[in-house]
Structure 1
């Protein structure tokens, strides 16, 4: 089984000019602005399941999405998609939107971008989000680390903030996206320390030297042995096949050297990781 744990959804009307400006610096090559349910479903042909969500990052990354597009994707392709709600705690209706997404749209988790919304994990506006997630067994996926977006305070992407929240809410399942690059070692030690914290490798393969060092560090801290690291693409910022191939080829750059190797066990455990067994208390039946 292969589960893509990080898939973005939006429609053309959700795209703002900032998207084109920022994504020019996000990775080699271009990033398609197309991420509607049909396009994303076709792109997910090689995976069994995909955890998908929209983005409410209109003033930073240039996507001002709507949970209805996520619910539409789940309704149209229920065997493929599991939907998460998007939360922007700056909005006065943030909790009303979250409750609707969970109770009416039947979305199964929450996505939040501290740097994109300019709201720290320690901000009091996040307290009702955490409490709602705990009360309703909803995992919280967080964009952690840096970004291409200019209007985003990067300090809010530090994994040490996750350590504090994980301590306050031990029943809150928290997932750090993108291994919180470039602070991957912070991400790894927090995930090792906190039973309720996980991480994932979406959108990392196209920086192979950084990715290699992240995976070696994960092995050395032994979190790769403990179902703590999950696989994803961050589509449309990366595709399924290139993400799998990039992970499996990670050792090519150190062939002929005495540098350590990322084990095949680590690589395949990540590719075949199953968030449905770990991110929800009692697991999630899909």
Structure 2
């Protein structure tokens, strides 16, 4: 089974905040696989995998609000292959209503962006949200959507700030998007310390040298089992991200650096993210053949067995 733990969707770029919308209006980042996060492109990109998380976004500091109702409507068109993650801002005046709505809409988790919403992960309002998540069995996804607006508080994105959260709520499942980039090592150390801390590999997966270093560090720290697959759509697509992961050893070819075993990469791509994050969603039926088919389509493959 292949589950993409990080995809995004919006109907209007202004839902990402005016500054971000203006940036995208000038030109979509050249590194993006798709120029926008519309539903048609999302459907095409995720047709090759078994399921995907569709992540909402709410960060009042930067004027971002992708309506959770928009996400729910899209999920409802194919509920067996899409899982909704509600975008939540703990500092919003409507926080209690937003959390209740997330439950009513059938979301399986919530997504927070401390940097873009401007709150420290241990802010009292945020701690109440984590407590609520524990009560309802929902995981927390920690995000920092790109491009990053100037008002974002980068320090609040550091994974190390979540150590107190994980100690206070040991049963809370936490997943960092993009391996906590740019603080990848912090995230990996945190995962080694707390059994319910995970990360997905989008963004990093499509940067050859960075993904090798990230996976090498994860392997040395014995936390490869905390890594989940993610493409970061529209930053990339599941197919491109999987091909890039299986090509992880290309950048060290001809060197004495130790290769990442292909079997470990396969485990990341096919790991059961639902079980890892404590999500009960039994209607998804997966095929382990998908990963191999996609990997074999890559133009460059790692020779490591």
State if a TM-score over 0.5 links the two structures: yes
User: What's 1:257 paired with?
Assistant: 255
- State the distance in 2 between where 1:165 and 1:78 align: 31
User: What's 1:240 paired with?
Assistant: 238
SS in 2 for 1:5: strand
- State the distance in 2 between where 1:49 and 1:162 align: 28
- State the distance in 1 between where 2:183 and 2:119 align: 19
Aligned-pair CA distance for 1:25: 9.9
Q: Which protein, 1 or 2, shows the higher relative CO under an 8 Å CA cutoff with sep ≥ 6?
A: 2
User: What's 2:100 paired with?
Assistant: 99
- RMSD of the TM alignment (CA)? 2.3
SS in 2 for 1:84: strand
User: What's 2:85 paired with?
Assistant: 84
Where do residues 35-50 of structure 1 align in structure 2 (5 Å cutoff)? 35-50=37-52
- State the distance in 1 between where 2:137 and 2:273 align: 14
Aligned-pair CA distance for 1:65: 0.6
- State the distance in 1 between where 2:171 and 2:150 align: 34
- State the distance in 2 between where 1:64 and 1:105 align: 17
User: What's 2:127 paired with?
Assistant: 127
Aligned-pair CA distance for 1:133: 0.3
Gaps of 5+ in 2: 284-305
- State the distance in 2 between where 1:22 and 1:258 align: 42
User: What's 2:299 paired with?
Assistant: none
Aligned-pair CA distance for 1:36: 3.3
- State the distance in 1 between where 2:237 and 2:170 align: 33
Where do residues 53-72 of structure 1 align in structure 2 (5 Å cutoff)? 53-57=55-59, 60=62, 63-72=64-73
More helix by share: 2
Greater shift in the superposed pair: 12-21 or 158-167: 12-21
TM-score (norm 2): 0.85
- State the distance in 1 between where 2:276 and 2:31 align: 34
Gaps of 5+ in 1: none
Q: How many residues align?
A: 281
Q: What per-residue deviation string (whole Å, max 9, x for no partner) do you get for residues 51-110 of structure 1?
A: 1122124653x74210001111121111210111110122110121111111x2111110
- State the distance in 2 between where 1:26 and 1:270 align: 29
Aligned-pair CA distance for 1:145: 10
